[in-house]
Amino acid sequence: MPDPTTLIIIGIVLAAAIALITVYNGLVGKRVETQNAWSQIDVQLKRRHDLIPNLIETVKGYAGHEQETFERVTAARTQAMGANGVAAQAGAENGLTQALRGLFAVAEAYPDLKASQNFLALQEELTGTENRIGFARQHYNDVVGQYAMALQQFPSSLVAGAFGFKPAEFFELEAAEEAAIQAPPEVRF
Amino acid sequence: MQNSGSTRTFRDLIAANQRQSALLAVGFVLFSVVALLVFTLVLVALGDPGALEAMDLATLGAVALGWFTIATIYTVVGYWRGDRMVLSVGGATAALYDSQLDNVVEEMAIAAGTSVPKIYLIEDEAPNAFATGRDPSHAAIAVTTGLLNKLTRDELQGVVAHELSHIRNYDTRLMLLLAVLVGAITLLSDAVWRAQRVSRPSSSRRESGNAGFVILIVGLLLAAVAPIFAQIIQLAVSREREYLADASAVELTRNPRGLADALRKIAADPDVLDNATQATAHLYIINPSRGLFGHAGSMFSSHPSTEERIRRLESLLV
């Protein structure tokens, strides 16, 4: 017959180990979820990037001399495609949105272009993709928020600290857009 | 339901739903075995009173095991094939590509972080929709052509988000199992009543002795009460899920107005859905049968009152 105190100690250690494993796995699950959510955004962003060369070609057919606008969009696209990290990506995507806005503003001046089926289809496709990016971003930020909460809440905060779980970055598009409004891009005529 | 603290609650509710489904499946098989055993005894008593006394424990065990196997197979088949049955009963066929519907469904699936459900169309001018499937990766959303014609994009988005929430919250799994349960119980009690009617009158009851008589009474009572009881449970569960799905839908769209407007429009629409039966009524976004049992909020209603749902949605508007 083992000593009752030994049994109690074994019980406590076992319970603590199970609690630790549960909390740890919960944190890992949440971290993986943020990565999955991020890859969803990535898919949609890539789709957006893929649409742009086609869009530029179409607009060129009607408005060949708007070279500067095309270059700005192409540069913004290249920057967005090369961006690394959540904050950099958000900034670059915002730049691309601004550049595209400029492109569509140019298109306003060409009635033939605006009536072209190809252009309309591309515009629709781009709007749809932007909607998807919006929802993917919403989902990503939700998941990141839940993960951040778990990192700060007791007792999972202890486990997070001990095993070096780092919070994921929010995909802040609004903040970047706000900044863009405060400092409007230079427009030269 | 919009502050960050409630996201945890949604997860808890989903987990609770999954536990409930598992419990329900196990409980249903056990309940069926007991009920089927009693019904078997009733049928034996009705047919040959002498046989009841002659039955020993081994025979009884064999009968129970037989019924257990059948009940398990029935539940498993209902679980794996139920979505297809529900879709065909609802008159839904796989939808051809419709850019707006496809886009809305895909957007909501992205917002929910789940896989995109299959899309089905019901040729009917009554605006309505339902979802089914045992889990998010084996799920389907069916909408009527009337819904597509009469709703704006924002409203359609609200409806799709509501249906997708049923899928994500595992309500569709729970509802599939509940439908299996109610269907089986109704069928069983029907069989007992039929058997009772065709059996030889009065004389057989006296001959079967005391035990036989008690079993007969219990069996008939069970046959009378069980279907009503099962349906009340089903409807109560269904009503509760509607509020949750409305709230989760807003979590996805961030636009309570869209769903509220859609509910108002669907409830006010004069067209009546042809393919909805009493058995599938609880699946739709708004109860399609507005007859005797359609009284919103009552014990026999599958949905809470639409006014109350709209009121709750609009309280989410800041």
| Rounded percentage of chain B residues whose pLDDT exceeds 70 | 81
Q: Any bridge partners for residue B133, and if so which?
A: B139
What is the token pair recorded at A109?
Answer: 């001046």
**Tens-place pLDDT, residues A40-94:** 899 999 999 999 998 988 888 888 788 888 999 999 999 999 888 888 888 898 8
Set B163, B242, B251, B307: catalytic member: B163
Amino acid at A60: K
Q: Identify the H or E element spanning A41.
A: helix A4-62
Domains contained in chain A, CATH given: 4-182 (1.20.1440.20)
| Rounded percentage of chain B residues whose pLDDT exceeds 90 | 23
Q: What's the confidence (pLDDT) of residue B7?
A: 43
In chain B, which residues have their Cβ closer than 8 Å to the Cβ of A136? 110-111
Amino acid at B200: R
Q: Please report, for residues A57, A59, A65, A110, B190, the alpha-carbon distance to residue A115 in angstroms, rounded to integers and kept in the order given.
A: 16, 12, 19, 9, 65
CA separation for the pair B185, B181 (Å, rounded): 6
Q: Any bridge partners for residue B143, and if so which?
A: B121, B129
Write the DSSP symbol of residue B284: B
Contact A136 B106 (CB under 8 A): no
Domain ranges of chain B: 6-314
Helix (H, G, I), strand (E, B) or coil at B280: coil
CA angle A123, B127, B169 (to 5 degrees): 80
In chain A, which residues have their Cβ closer than 8 Å to the Cβ of B255? none
In chain A, which residues have their Cβ closer than 8 Å to the Cβ of B110? 40, 44, 132, 135-136, 139
Helix (H, G, I), strand (E, B) or coil at B128: coil
Q: What's the confidence (pLDDT) of residue A184?
A: 43
**Tens-place pLDDT, residues A115-129:** 888 888 888 888 888
Determine the distance from the C-alpha atom of residue B302 to the mean position of all C-alpha atoms in its chain, rounded to a whole number. 9
Contacts of residue B171, Cβ cutoff 8 Å, sequence gap at least 6: B17, B165, B241, B244, B245
Tell me the angle at which helices A117-152 and B6-47 cross, rounded to the nearest 10 degrees.
Answer: 90
Contacts of residue B297, Cβ cutoff 8 Å, sequence gap at least 6: B304, B305, B308
Distance from CA of A139 to the nearest CA of B (A): 5
CA angle B200, B203, B208 (to 5 degrees): 100
Does residue B308 have an active-site annotation?
no
The verdict on ipTM greater than 0.85 is no
CA separation for the pair B236, B245 (Å, rounded): 15
CB A160 within 8 A of CB A148: no
Residue of chain B minimizing CA distance to A139: B111
Amino acid at B77: V
Q: Which three-class secondary structure string do you get for B209-257?
A: HHHHHHHHHHHHHHHHHHHHHHHHHHHHHHHHHHHHHHHHHHHHHCCHH
Amino acid at B59: T
In chain B, which residues have their Cβ closer than 8 Å to the Cβ of A143? 113
- List of chain B residues with pLDDT < 50: 1-8, 202-205, 292-294
Report the candidate in B112, B156, B148 with the shortest Cα–Cα distance to residue A132: B112
**Tens-place pLDDT, residues B181-221:** 777 777 777 777 776 666 655 444 455 566 667 777 777 78
Contact B110 A149 (CB under 8 A): no
Contact A131 B7 (CB under 8 A): no
Contact B110 A33 (CB under 8 A): no
Q: What's the confidence (pLDDT) of residue A174?
A: 55
Q: What's the confidence (pLDDT) of residue A128?
A: 84
CA separation for the pair B294, B315 (Å, rounded): 25
Q: Please tell me which of the candidates B4, B7, B111 has its beta carbon nearest to residue A135.
A: B111
Of A138-152, A165-179, B54-68, B176-190, where does mean pLDDT reach its minimum? Answer: A165-179
In total, the C-beta contacts within 8 angstroms joining chain A to chain B are 36
What is the token pair recorded at B91?
Answer: 């008159």
Contact A128 B254 (CB under 8 A): no
The reply to whether omega before A155 is within 30° of 0 (cis) is: yes
Q: What's the confidence (pLDDT) of residue B241?
A: 83
**Residue bearing tokens 């509940």:** B178
Q: What are phi and psi of B142, to 5 degrees?
A: -115, 130
Report the candidate in B276, B308, B291 with the shortest Cα–Cα distance to residue B87: B276
Contact A132 B106 (CB under 8 A): yes
Q: Please tell me which of the candidates B4, B8, B110 has its beta carbon nearest to residue A139.
A: B110
Q: What is the DSSP annotation of B83-117?
A: HHHHHHHTTEEEPPP-HHHHHHHHHHHHHHTSPPP
Q: What's the confidence (pLDDT) of residue A176?
A: 47
Q: What's the confidence (pLDDT) of residue B199?
A: 62
CA separation for the pair A12, A15 (Å, rounded): 5
